[in-house]
Amino acid sequence: QKEVEQNSGPLSVPEGAIASLNCTYSDRVSQSFFWYRQYSGKSPELIMSIYSNGDKEDGRFTAQLNKASQYVSLLIRDSQPSDSATYLCAVINFNKFYFGSGTKLNVKP
């Protein structure tokens, strides 16, 4: 079983809609969770980190963490074509990073 699982997509949403990206993780000891965005041919960049249960909002982005269900999600409100990218979920276990394989998001104008 992989440490971090994501649906590879692609997830297609119209411009202005809410995009919902999901991630599950296998190890209950995981304490730190991250969402990275990677444009095609570029390096990953951090969008959000979340450490405690509940929601964390930053502009159009909201990260949600449910440790009981071992589930992390990222909501993108008012999606823009510039949000089209691959979104990577990551967790830390014992000083090591584990990434999901990423969900490709397409935002259609």
Contact 5, 63 (CB under 8 A): no
The residues facing 14 across adjacent strands are: 108
CB of 74: closest distance to another protein in angstroms? 16
The correct pick among 83, 100, 105, 107 for binding another protein (CB under 8 A) is 100
End-to-end Cα distance, the chain = 37
Binding track, positions 61-90, relative to another protein; x by CB under 8 A: ---------------------------x-x
Could you give the CA distance from residue 63 to residue 47 in angstroms, rounded to a whole number? 10
Per CB under 8 A, contacts with another protein among 16-45 are 32, 34, 43-45
The correct pick among 76, 84, 102, 105 for binding another protein (CB under 8 A) is 102
Check binding of 95 to another protein (CB under 8 A).
yes
Could you give the CA distance from residue 18 to residue 39 in angstroms, rounded to a whole number? 19
Could you tell me whether strands 54-58 and 61-66 are parallel, antiparallel, or unpaired per DSSP bridges?
A: antiparallel
CB of 103: closest distance to another protein in angstroms? 10
CB of 109: closest distance to another protein in angstroms? 27
CB of 34: closest distance to another protein in angstroms? 8
Residue 63's nearest CA partner among 80, 81, 46 is: 46
